[in-house]
Structure 1
Amino acid sequence: MAAARAGGGAGPGPGPGAGQPGPAALYVHWPYCRKRCSYCNFNKYVVPAVDEAAVRACLVREAQTLLRLSRVRSITSVFFGGGTPSLASPGTIAAVLEAVAGAAHLPADAEVTLEANPSSASTPRLTGFRAAGVNRLSIGVQSLDDAELRLLGREHTAAEAREAVEAARRLFPGRTSIDLLFGLPGQSRSAWARGLEAALGLCDDHVSLYQLTLERGTVLAAQVQGGSLPTPAQDLLADMYHTARDTLVAAGFRHYEVSNFARKGALSTHNLSYWRAEQYIGVGPGAHGRFVPWGEGSCSREARVQTLEPDAWMREVQSRGHGTRRRVVLSPLEQLEEVLALGLRTDEGITQERWGRFSPQLSLEAVFGVPGEAQELQQQGWLVLDGSGLRCSREGLALLDLLLPALLCQLQRRWAPRRSAARDGDEAVGVISSGE
């Protein structure tokens, strides 16, 4: 109900933006690729030809529409993801950024990231992206071993990956990130360690490491399920993760998020906005967002998903200005669950101040400082609750997926009595709210 979402009574409040639009990050999805990798189930499309002028016009229009609906005052960062956004022309990137700057304040030093594949990251192309306004690159290297790249179905070779990263570092010094995958079928711990050493000799100041997930419906998953490729052992996956963390930390990287490492302060501003549960607006086919649509007279934070299929999305944008397919008002509890699940992914965890913005009446200590799962995790050395906030220890960060369900259960139990009290209070004073 509307009253519950507004956080009346003793329950948690609606989070940042409750009194004013505030800032937001912006994600822009380019859905096209030249080929589908063997492990990929992202929202991407391989088509004979792309009508880039039409896609550009729709990205511009949807960005303008959603910025108007959100009434955000400032854009903190822009991230072009995909798909393979480095297949878009620099002119498309520039047009979107111009539209954003025309609809909201886009600071001159705002982080603007573009995901790029080595096969579409030549020096002239990257120079064009820099001129368009991009100031940070995230390059999908995935591996520096040609056999592993073939297994993954990647377009590029290890030599091409090295050339792309070196070109990017010349143009975007200190602001070039590389992605690496581990846990490939048949990959050994020693092969992974060698790959890490090679990456350390190549990388800039940010590295993202992702354990390969065998997604249903992908070629690689079918090969593993069919027995033609071995299933990676869980103990081996854990060893690979710890090896990577120890290697990167020893090289001066801060392990600031479960999968992300940075040195010299090169943390991803955009991704931090997700993990800190700040507002973000998703533009493009299948993009996700979390923001308050003040322009529609609402003061409730919504989860939004844009239409997945590009042609259908473009028709919707052309007809009504945006392609939002699904929108759900997030209850106060759902918002707190996101704050918990996302915030614990970082080494800073959930600060007292951030939790208080979402839950002014129910403190971190009131939820997790009482007997229950959280106290047991603290006693085991996996969780820390102190004056700074709630966070995982170094050991706990690697086990977050195992710890989180218990913490969510404790949050739900502690929140329920306060919610009941709030409802009783609403009824006592005759609060009227719209039905769902």
Structure 2
Amino acid sequence: MVLPATRARGLVAATKAAQRRRRVDSGGGSPSPEPASRRAAVYVHWPYCEKRCSYCNFNKYIPRGVEEAAVRNCLVTEVHTLLRLSGVRRVESVFFGGGTPSLASPHTVAAVLEAVAQSAHLPADSEVTLEANPTSAPASRLAEFGAAGVNRLSIGLQSLDDTELQLLGRTHSSSDALRTLAEARRLFPGRVSVDLMLGLPAQQVGPWLRQLQELLHHCDDHLSLYQLSLERGTALFAQVQQGALPAPDPELAAEMYQEGRAMLQEAGFRQYEVSNFARNGALSTHNWTYWQCGQYLGIGPGAHGRFMLQGAEGRTREARIQTLEPDNWMKEVMLFGHGTRKRVPLGKLELLEEALTMGLRTDVGLTHQHWQQFEPPLTLWDIFGTNREVKELLEQDLLLLDHRGLRCSWKGLAVLDSLLLTLLPQLQKTWHQRTPSLVPGG
């Protein structure tokens, strides 16, 4: 991906760019907080991987002669364009996801961060996360990413069992994973997250819990538990369909999740979101923006975004998707300054549905104050306070509705999907019954 002769020059440029950004930030002082419509997170999609994992259906490609400089220039161009169109003046966090962004050069990461800082205020202490696979992230390369401006790593460990790693199509071993994790913690203490998967074919509760217990001896302050989702079009899906592998057992997966979250709670981790656990305050700032239904800009092939266009009438937020295929995305960026393929205006009800769905994923839930930020004509009490089915969920200690707002109990977080089957229809029903009389001329 990066020729050795250009790598050293790229690292020097990356380091200088990161230092320049920090100097500009410290010299100008911190501006007054911007309104929510002028703040956003930025997600940057690097679409290339060394190989496709057997379970993955993300927008990713195996590189063949990729010209990284051209990709970098398009990422920088799209950053400038979308920040200008959105009118965002302060970027809260930047997340490099993929694909495998640790395959990109540190120079590319630094160039994108510099573009963000040129078009908006990017505080020097903003969270800048890079997803990394153990095999693509030796210690020297991790240090280079740190010099380029990265200050948090998310490591796709997935399993500590080599047989499971082979089943998943991963290119690293468990020893590779632990070695990379140790180096990451040395370079980014307190700011390293790891992923662990559960619910694999033939996986049993006891051995998986022993993996988690082993990981607790090595991990930092953030850990994510993800249940395998068999996606059509993946190699793993085909193997299960053909009978070569047993279908994952949902009851065993549920037991792993319940036992795992209890183990993490005992180890001092806060389950601050359905799949995410943190201690010592090491929450993911970037992901918190998603769950709080904040604005975010999607940069790169296939990236998703949610933001309001500057000067848009009615303050309408848009859902935006960038063109999937990298070469076509690059052509559009060079022609139009961005590669947005699809724009969908979000109505007020749709926005409230998103706020409800995403907010309830967290242990904070939806506070009354946060709900009012979306300017609903109905309060949480109006919608859920008198409904019989919601009252039953409250009595079962799955939900709480009080002076703070609406949230799941610890027990309720584990079954959020089933709770939403009651809550979303109730929101929609109340909206359609009550809003006509609240809208002038309705």
The normalised TM-score by structure 1 is 0.92
Moved more, 192-201 or 371-380: 371-380
For 2:68 and 2:354, the matched residues in 1 are separated by 35
The one of 318, 325, 336 aligned to 2:352: 336
2:169 alignment partner, one of 147, 153, 157: 153
Cα drift, residue 275 of structure 1: 0.2
Matched, 1:426 2:434: no
Shift of 1:85: 0.2
CA distance in 1, matches of 2:153, 2:415: 29
Matches within 5 A, 1:34-433: 34-294=50-310, 299-423=315-439, 425-426=440-441
CA distance in 2, matches of 1:84, 1:195: 24
Q: Distance in 2 between matches of 1:28 and 1:133?
A: 14
Match of 1:431 in 2: none
CA deviations 1:316-353 (Å, max 9, x no partner) are 00000000001111000000000000000000001111
Bigger Cα displacement from structure 2, 357-366 vs 205-214: 357-366
Give the direction of change, closer, same or farther, for the CA distance of 1:283–1:298 in structure 2 (3 Å limit).
Answer: farther
Measured in 2, the distance between the counterparts of 1:297 and 1:419 equals 21
User: 1:380 deviation in Å?
Assistant: 1.4
1:280-311 alpha-carbon deviations (Å, 9 max, x no partner): 11100111111001156672111111111101
Instruction: Quote how far apart the aligned CAs of 1:406 are.
Output: 1.3
**How far apart are the structure 2 equivalents of 1:314 and 1:22?**
27
- Aligned counterpart, 2:24: none
Distance 2:434 2:406 in 1: 21
- Offset, 1:175: 0.1
Report the Cα distance in structure 2 between the residues aligned to 1:213 and 1:360, rounded to whole angstroms: 34
Deviation at 1:402, TM superposition (A): 1.1
Distance 1:375 1:233, change over 3 A: same
CA contact (8 A) 2:195 2:223 kept: yes
Q: Residues 156, 123 of structure 1: CA spacing in aligned structure 2 closer, same or farther, 3 A cutoff? A: same
Deviation readout 1:70-128 (Å, 9 max, x if unpaired): 11110000000000000000000000000000000000110000000001111110011
SS at match of 1:29: strand
Aligned partners of 2:374, 2:158: CA distance in 1, in Å? Answer: 37
CA distance in 2, matches of 1:318, 1:114: 26
- Structure 2 residues without counterparts, runs of 5 or longer: 1-33
Aligned mates of 2:103, 2:312 — CA distance in 1: 35
Q: Match for 2:441: what amino acid?
A: D
| Mapped partners of 1:219, 1:303: distance in 2 | 30
- In the alignment, which residue of structure 1 is the partner of 2:38? 22
Is contact 1:79-1:114 (8 Å) kept?
yes
Contact 2:199 2:250 in 1 (8 A): no
Q: What is the CA-CA distance between 1:169 and the residue it aligns to? A: 0.3
The answer for unaligned runs of 5 or more in structure 1 is 1-17, 428-436
Tell me the alpha carbon deviations over residues 187-235 of structure 1, each in whole angstroms, 9 at most, x when there is no partner.
1101101110111111000001100001111111111111111112221
Question: For residues 395 and 77 of structure 2, what CA distance do their matches in structure 1 show?
Answer: 53
CA deviation map 1:388-420 (0-9, x unaligned): 110001111000111112100000011112332
Give the Cα separation in 1 of the matches to 2:337 and 2:388: 49
- 2:269–2:277 Cα contact (<8 Å) kept: yes
Contact map agreement 2:36 2:294 (CA 8 A) in 1? no
Q: Please give the secondary structure, in 2, of the residue aligned with 1:345.
A: coil
Aligned mates of 1:318, 1:376 — CA distance in 2: 56
Deviations, residues 35-91 of structure 1 (Å, cap 9, x unaligned): 000000000011222110010000000010000001111000000000000000000
Q: Distance in 1 between matches of 2:246 and 2:263?
A: 26
CA contact (8 A) 1:255 1:261 kept: yes
Distance 2:65 2:194 in 1: 28
CA offset at residue 421 of structure 1?
2.0
Structure 1 residues 374-383 or 110-119, which shifts more? 374-383
User: Which whole-Å CA distance do the structure 2 matches of 1:340 and 1:357 have between them?
Assistant: 13
Are residues 20 and 388 of structure 1, via their aligned partners in 2, closer, same or farther at CA, if it must alter by over 3 Å? closer
Q: Residue type of the partner of 2:368?
A: Q
Aligned partners of 2:298 and 2:322 also within 8 Å: yes
Q: Which residue identity is paired with 1:420?
A: P
CA separation in 2, counterparts of 1:19 and 1:169?
Answer: 35
Partners in 1 of 2:121 and 2:143 — Cα distance?
25
Distance 1:187 1:413 in 2: 42
The SS at the match of 1:311 is: helix
Per the alignment, residue 433 of structure 1 pairs with none
> Higher relative contact order at CA 8 Å, sep ≥6: structure 1 or structure 2?
1
